[in-house]
Each structure stands twice: as structure tokens, then as C-alpha cells.
Structure 1
């Protein structure tokens, strides 16, 4: 555990942060990872073309 913590401390920074994802539930882990990634990306929140109908299923 000490080696893991040292690796995180040496490689984590604002440009390339580590994100720890709980993976007890693989599906939920993937959703949370995607959600975290999208929250970090800049996009124009006022651009209606980027909005998706919540009722739409892919």
C-alpha cells in the first residue's frame, strides 16, 4: 500500500490527476468514470445542439 501511495503522490498533478473509481459494480464504475471525465471537459453549456433528449435510448 505504501508503494501505491507513493506512486500516486509522485504522479498526481492538476494536469494529469489520478481518479480512484470504486469498481464493486462494473457498470456503475464505468458510468461514474465517464461522468467524471465529462465534468472535466469544457463545453459551451448554452449550445442547445449539445443537449440530448433524456428519453432517447441509444
Structure 2
């Protein structure tokens, strides 16, 4: 009977840990989603990555 009690106690510990980890994972995923939403989007530019403007005394 002692073995059954030990197994039951361990199962309860694992169930608690499972719930805690699921909550932590949900929090991490929500924060990542917030960061994606908050991340600035670079303005569109030419494919070269350079924006048109004055350089070396002339407009490029």
C-alpha cells in the first residue's frame, strides 16, 4: 500500500507541475505575440536597402 501512496503523491506533483508549466508557456507565447505586434516595421525602400536622397552633392 505504501507504494501506491507514493505513486499517487508523485502523480499529484506531476499534475501540479504540468499545470504550472502550461501557464508559463501561455504567458511566454502571449508576451512573444505582444513583441511581434510592438516591433516596428521598417519603411519600404529600394531593394538595395538604400533610400533615395542627396549623397555626395547629387540626388541618388
TM exceeding 0.5: no
| Structure with greater contact order relative to length (CA < 8 Å, sep ≥ 6) | 1
Using the size of structure 1 for normalisation, the TM-score is 0.31
Larger Rg: 2
Bigger helix fraction:
2
Using the size of structure 2 for normalisation, the TM-score is 0.30
Bigger strand fraction:
2
